[in-house]
Amino acid sequence: MNKVKFVTIIIIIFLIVSLLTFLNYDKIIDFFTNKQWEIADSIGKIEYENYVDAFNTNSDFFIINGTEIQGYSDTVKKVFEKSISFKDVLSKTAGDYAIIAEKNSTDVFVINKDEEVWNTSINNASILGVSINKNGYSAVIYSQAGYKSLIKVFSSAGEELFTNYLASTYAIDVAISNDNKTLAIAEIDTNGVSLTSRLKLIDVQSASENNVKKIDLDGDELISDIEFDENNHLIVLTDVNVIVLKNENILELINFKDENIINANISNQKNLVAVKLNEESLFNVKCELCIYNFNDSKNVKTYMIEETPNRVVTCNDVIAVDTGSKIIFLNSSANFLKKCQYNGQLKNISLFDNGKTAVLLFRDTAEFIKVGGM
């Protein structure tokens, strides 16, 4: 090869590299700035049969199979075990509390950290939903003869506080504020030409009809989830938007159609996490993970994702995004933490240990992943 050809090849290679660098400048800078080569390490596995459900508190991870519920710490040490025979499980967690019930049955129990604190059976009930706050106050939705829905509220010690009866509406979800003062009920009224969504706020300390506030939502909004944020404002997820209730005034945080939102999650008490579709073609899908502060929806943190996420899971200040072949871990400022690749069909992801540990759930194994600090 003569000198002229060699120099020409070098120039062509330089131009190609320069062009690729220019076109991908933001990605390259982001890769090195956020240390996107960092891999979350596996710290252990457990095996199981007849998987039914899994959930987590801040401190521990729990899995339910056909015969028992087992709890594990962040070191994959078994810390809880209870024999059960639930076929279909309802669960909800907050802080270190968890409430578990068998769907369409009568039994319910509560765990705090790695201990069962109380259990009960609601006579002639068919349990439809459960909720708990970080202090252990809980609510159970169930049906019974003569009523479409009933909501029974318990203290952290399992003391029954009161029962709310719904004769003409269905309870879709319930939530208890973190100061233990307010029970929120999301209802759907099926009477009439169209479905109507309604919020009901009840004073837990004095649960009389005089202390019940009812708020009807507009038009065709159908509620799917309600949660109280850390400031005890009620956050409401509907099929068209996310709204917040402040001093009985309804404020819209985001509108799905206006923002091109395809998925939203309000389970974190600090932030709303949503997936925005930015670009879609036959061979190209680009999404943006958007993190909205509940107190200031204009303060949005974003992270670009090349694929449409299969699921998004949050725990405190950590967010796990499943893209179908890898999990990307971010903090609440949308900064990259770590990532991990996986093979096989992932059933679910669980985050616990204040978000520092993740569990990847497959058909018959669960792998524990150390995410680390925020």
For range 224-231, the mean pLDDT: 94
Full-model pTM: 0.86
Q: What is the pLDDT of residue 2?
A: 63
**Strands ordered across the beta sheet of 285-293:** 261-265, 271-280, 285-293, 296-305
User: Which stretches of the chain are DSSP H helices?
Assistant: 3-23, 25-33, 256-259
DSSP 3: H
Burial of 118 (0-12, 13-18, 19+ CB in 10 A): middle
Return contacts of 116-125, CB within 8 angstroms, 24+ apart. 116/82, 117/156, 117/157, 117/158, 118/154, 118/157, 118/158, 119/158, 120/154, 120/158, 122/152, 125/150
- Stretch 19-23: mean pLDDT: 58
Q: What is the pLDDT of residues 160-191, one digit of tens each?
A: 999 999 988 999 999 999 999 999 999 998 87
pLDDT category at 50 given cuts 50, 70, 90 is confident
Domain ranges of the chain: 37-53+270-374, 86-259
Q: What is the pLDDT of residue 142?
A: 97
| Rg of the chain (C-alpha set) | 24
Question: What's the number of CA atoms in the CB half-sphere (13 Å) around residue 206?
Answer: 4
Q: What is the mean pLDDT of the chain?
A: 87
Q: Work out the average pLDDT over 26-38.
A: 46
Question: pLDDT of 275-308, one tens digit each?
Answer: 999 876 656 778 999 999 888 778 899 999 988 8
pLDDT digits (tens, 9 = 90+) for 137-155: 999 999 998 889 999 999 9
Q: Three-class SS of residue 43?
A: strand
pLDDT tens-digit series, residues 243-264: 999 887 889 999 999 999 999 9
Q: Which fold has domain 86-259?
A: Methylamine Dehydrogenase; Chain H (2.130.10)
d(CA 329, CA 289): 12
